[in-house]
A and B are shown apart, each in its own frame.
Chain A
Amino acid sequence: SQTIHQWPATLVQPVGSPLSLECTVEGTSNPNLYWYRQAAGRGLQLLFYSVGIGQISSEVPQNLSASRPQDRQFILSSKKLLLSDSGFYLCAWRRNDRGDEQYFGPGTRLTVT
């Protein structure tokens, strides 16, 4: 069966510090991968998606970046965090050969102070 991992689960970082959130998927190959942000318990904002290694599409211009160094690894980064970067960051995967449903990881709660 497939599983998706995210870490850390919670993170408190000062303004201006760097960020690195990691997401890994097990039990599938060549998945589509997604990073979402959810602010204050509300809607899901798509940040980045990737259809393959090294292929990143950005949906919202901001001070965040994403990378996919391996087939089942997706990383969200920032060089300098802003207060507005606080939120719940969710990684998700989807089969790219059949089905369109997405499977979400447990998320990382980021608080920028």
Chain B
Amino acid sequence: GQQVMQIPQYQHVQEGEDFTTYCNSSTTLSNIQWYKQRPGGHPVFLIQLVKSGEVKKQKRLTFQFGEAKKNSSLHITATQTTDVGTYFCAGQRQAGTALIFGKGTTLSVSS
């Protein structure tokens, strides 16, 4: 079946360093979404990418969707302790169908 792979599984950085998590699908996606789950909390929607090659920014966060619509990345510039949590990508083969979640990347930040 369709899979969404996410790497790395864990990442520890010093505050101020950059961080990137990568997401790869075995099949072409209609769109990809990113969620953040703080420790002890529930996933919260961050953004959705739909177009091939799309790049979106939210303050220090940059999201990219690959040209082939099979991969995506989330890059955080100058991490802060508030960035701690697990970041999930989730893809849809077709709009309106169930999301396929990656296993997430857990980010820890030391000050």
Query: Chain A interface mostly helix, strand, loop or mixed?
Result: loop
Among A59, A102, A103, residue most surrounded by chain B Cβ atoms (within 10 Å): A102
Mark the stretch among B15-23, B60-68, B72-80, B100-108 that contacts chain A.
B100-108
Contacts of B48 in A (CB 8 A): 99-101
Contacts of A43 in B (CB 8 A): 88, 101-104
Residues of B within 8 A of A (CB): 31, 33, 41-45, 48, 86, 88, 90, 92, 95-96, 98-99, 101-104, 106
Interface size classification for chain A: 10 to 19
Mark the stretch among A13-21, A67-75, A76-84, A104-112 that contacts chain B.
A104-112
Contact A101 B103 (CB under 8 A): no
A56 within 8 A of B: no
Contacts of B44 in A (CB 8 A): 104
* Complex CA–CA separation, A96 to B98 (angstroms): 12
A64 within 8 A of B: no
Among B42, B92, B96, B99, residue most surrounded by chain A Cβ atoms (within 10 Å): B42
Cβ-defined partner of B45 (8 Å) among A42, A49, A101: A101
* Complex CA–CA separation, A108 to B99 (angstroms): 21
Q: Which 3 pairs, one residue from A and one from B, show the smallest C-beta to C-beta distance? A: A43-B103, A104-B42, A101-B45
* Complex CA–CA separation, A100 to B99 (angstroms): 9
Can you report 21 residue pairs joining A to B where beta carbons are below 8 Å apart?
A34-B98, A41-B86, A41-B106, A42-B104, A43-B88, A43-B103, A44-B43, A46-B98, A46-B101, A90-B42, A96-B96, A99-B48, A100-B48, A102-B33, A102-B45, A102-B90, A102-B99, A104-B44, A105-B42, A106-B41, A107-B42
Cβ-defined partner of A100 (8 Å) among B41, B96, B102: B96
Cβ-defined partner of A49 (8 Å) among B92, B95, B98: B98
